[in-house]
């Protein structure tokens, strides 16, 4: 009886696999595979429940075998190095040709060699961003400035390719190529400057590296920030695994084993209502999360910054909801420009795209693991000033404190 049951299970698994391969191969006849060479288009985007989604699309990820990968089977390589999907998925992907070596289908037992080209064909689901416009502030012959909304990354990175400032500007305004001369964290809003030629980008880069450019931000922080100019000159150590930075030393500490990099930020209070303060921030160096860490160190963290509100925020959580965040929503509701982020539908679904039998994210529009509780930081870039130029961005609505 046991042998018979196992035999039936094997037959069922084989039938399911054959059906999957047949279905996928039939689909491949109609699939148009995209690469970074393909430009985003306006109709790639869907605005739904206050978020900007990208219609899932077929994409070819390409990499080359590193020395430490050499000798592994193709399935073991993907299972060990790309943990977003499980072993069974990679077995099926190799068998139906969704994973290839040097453009050819291979056995699941095929061992890879250094420098071989590996292609992984996927049905790509990008995380949504908030459905705010990327507004053009000033368009010149060699320079473009825009108002970057919070939640949108500047350029392609990680899971994002089309849902970026660069992608949206190309799709909706036909602006390409663009060369970002500085970057803002994904959750930060404000002024973003692009050069429109490589020579202009080099000029900006030389000025920044030469210390000739002054940067100015504003932040909404907890508590009554002190009057007068406050300077925080404290090393910052960034942990890429935790995606979090830490302040080191300070207060006259003579610790000679500091691992962080020198960092200095000037602060000046603009206004306060007793619960929050609007603070002008001038970073004199450019470390990861510098303003956020130095404000935390000063005892006045950004009021909706879950990552740096306190020691309990050291570990990231997709479901995190601090008391301050909840209170801030009641005391200072966001304006119509930002209010869409308050919506929290149980699921963002959209039926007008083709489901893929190999996809681990279908039938949902957003990818698995998307943090739907995310909101923009109360940190905003307002001005960049160089030797003979100044570019500015309007203040956001949260910066108004009577």
Residue 155 Cα to chain centre, angstroms: 9
Angle at the Cα of 157 (from 155 to 162), degrees rounded to 5?
Answer: 60
Is there a catalytic annotation at residue 88? no
- Give Rg (Cα) of the chain: 25
Q: Which of 76, 185, 233, 397 is catalytic?
A: 185
Q: Give the Cα separation of 234 and 246 in Å (integer).
A: 10
C-alpha count within 13 angstroms, C-beta hemisphere, residue 349: 7
216 Cβ neighbours under 8 A, 6+ residues apart: 280, 281, 282, 381, 382, 383, 384, 385
CA angle 351, 356, 361 (to 5 degrees): 75
Alpha carbons 180 and 333: distance in angstroms, whole number: 32
Is 189 within 8 Å of 149 (Cβ atoms)? yes
CA distances to 70, 97, 119, 199, 288 from 114, in Å: 5, 21, 14, 36, 34
Alpha helices in 183-289 (DSSP H): 198-209
Starting at the edge strand found earlier in the chain, the sheet holding 117-124 runs 57-64, 117-124, 99-101
The H-assigned helical ranges of 234-380 are 290-297, 323-331
Residue 22: φ, ψ to 5°: -60, -45
Residues sharing a CB contact under 8 Å with residue 68, sequence separation 6 or more, in sequence order: none
For 143, the 3-state DSSP assignment is strand
Q: Mind telling me the catalytic residues?
A: 185
């Amino acid at each position: 009886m046991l042998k018979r049951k196992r035999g039936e299970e094997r037959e069922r698994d084989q039938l399911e696999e054959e059906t999957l391969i047949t279905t996928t191969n039939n689909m491949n006849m109609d699939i148009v595979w995209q690469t970074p060479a393909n430009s985003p288009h306006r109709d790639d985007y869907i605005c739904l429940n206050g978020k900007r989604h990208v219609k899932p699309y077929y994409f070819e990820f390409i990499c080359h075998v590193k020395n430490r990968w050499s000798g592994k089977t193709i399935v073991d390589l993907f299972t060990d190095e790309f943990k977003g999907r499980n072993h069974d998925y990679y077995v099926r992907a190799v068998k139906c040709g969704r994973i290839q070596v040097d453009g050819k289908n291979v056995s699941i037992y095929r061992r890879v060699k250094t420098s071989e080209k590996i292609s992984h064909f996927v049905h790509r689901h990008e995380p949504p961003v908030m459905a705010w416009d990327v507004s053009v502030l000033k368009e010149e012959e060699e320079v473009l400035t825009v108002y970057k909304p919070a939640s949108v990354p500047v350029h392609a990175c990680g899971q994002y390719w089309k849902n970026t400032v660069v992608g949206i500007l190309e799709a909706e305004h036909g602006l390409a190529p663009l060369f970002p001369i500085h970057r803002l964290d994904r959750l930060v809003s404000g002024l973003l400057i692009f050069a429109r030629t490589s020579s202009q980008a080099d000029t900006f880069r030389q000025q920044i590296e030469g210390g000739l450019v002054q940067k100015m931000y504003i932040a909404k922080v907890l508590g009554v920030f002190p009057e007068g100019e406050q300077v925080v000159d404290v090393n910052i150590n960034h942990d890429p695994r935790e995606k979090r930075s830490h302040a080191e030393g300070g207060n006259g500490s003579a610790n000679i084993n500091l691992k962080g990099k020198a960092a200095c930020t000037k602060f000046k209070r603009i206004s306060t209502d007793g619960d929050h303060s609007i603070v002008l921030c001038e970073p004199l160096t450019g470390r990861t999360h510098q303003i956020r860490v130095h404000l935390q160190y000063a005892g006045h963290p950004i009021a909706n910054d879950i990552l740096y509100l306190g020691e309990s925020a050291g570990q990231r959580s997709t479901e995190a909801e601090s008391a301050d965040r909840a209170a801030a929503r009641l005391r200072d509701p966001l304006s119509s420009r930002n209010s869409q982020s308050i919506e929290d539908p149980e699921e963002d679904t959209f039926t007008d795209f083709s489901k893929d039998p190999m996809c681990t994210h279908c039938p949902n529009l957003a990818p698995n693991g998307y943090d739907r509780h995310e909101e923009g930081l109360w940190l905003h870039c307002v001005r960049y000033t160089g030797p003979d130029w100044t570019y500015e961005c309007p203040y956001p609505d949260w910066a108004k404190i009577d």
